[in-house]
């Protein structure tokens, strides 16, 4: 009988997902959002790098998080904007590329899980 092989990517995704439960279920503002938007937000945690940053590509995000759901990339874009408007994420552009920063990512992250620097530039707040 062979052992199941857990890839480093899967292990990292599970570590990141383990940090979202209190943020989603204990936040009144998050509770006011539609269920698919809350699911999208939870999924962003597994796509984000170790600093809570990721490429802002609604089509790719839709494929990874909501691949089996009847949701368009345009609807994902609207949900991302809703999360941005409520300050759960920041959507920003740097050097012609679009990115997302999950707000308070490090606050809800177990510090021992930090492993590498982000390759995505941080947003510039003005």
Sign of the C-alpha dihedral, residues 20, 25, 29, 35? Answer: positive
Number of C-beta neighbours around residue 124 at 10 A: 8
Query: What is the reported pLDDT for 116?
Result: 60
Query: What is the reported pLDDT for 17?
Result: 60
Beta bridge partners of 71: none
Query: What is the reported pLDDT for 111?
Result: 47
Distance between CA atoms of 120 and 50, rounded to whole angstroms?
10
Q: Quick check: helix, strand or coil at residue 91?
A: strand
Low pLDDT (below 50) residues in the chain: 111
- 82-109: pLDDT as tens digits: 999 999 999 999 999 999 999 988 776 6
Query: What is the reported pLDDT for 11?
Result: 64
Domain harbouring 77, CATH code: 1.10.10.10
The domain total for the chain is 1
Distance between CA atoms of 78 and 86, rounded to whole angstroms?
12
Q: What is the DSSP letter of 113?
A: G
Q: Quick check: helix, strand or coil at residue 101?
A: strand
Distance between CA atoms of 122 and 108, rounded to whole angstroms?
18
Query: What is the reported pLDDT for 62?
Result: 96
Q: Is position 3 within any domain?
A: no
Q: Is position 122 within any domain?
A: no
Query: What is the reported pLDDT for 108?
Result: 67
Q: Is position 17 within any domain?
A: yes
Give the structural domain span for 63: 9-113
Query: What is the reported pLDDT for 105?
Result: 83
Q: Is position 84 within any domain?
A: yes
């Amino acid at each position: 009988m062979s052992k199941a092989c857990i890839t480093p990517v899967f292990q990292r995704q599970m570590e990141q997902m383990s940090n979202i439960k209190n943020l989603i279920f204990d936040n009144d503002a998050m509770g006011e959002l539609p269920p698919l938007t809350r699911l999208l937000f939870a999924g962003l945690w597994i796509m984000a790098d170790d600093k809570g940053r990721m490429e802002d590509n609604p089509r790719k995000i839709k494929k990874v998080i909501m691949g089996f759901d009847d949701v368009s990339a345009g609807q994902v874009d609207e949900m991302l904007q809703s999360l941005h408007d409520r300050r759960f994420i920041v959507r920003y552009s740097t050097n012609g590329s679009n990115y997302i920063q999950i707000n308070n990512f490090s606050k809800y992250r177990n510090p021992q899980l930090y492993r590498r620097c982000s390759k995505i530039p941080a947003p510039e707040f003005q």
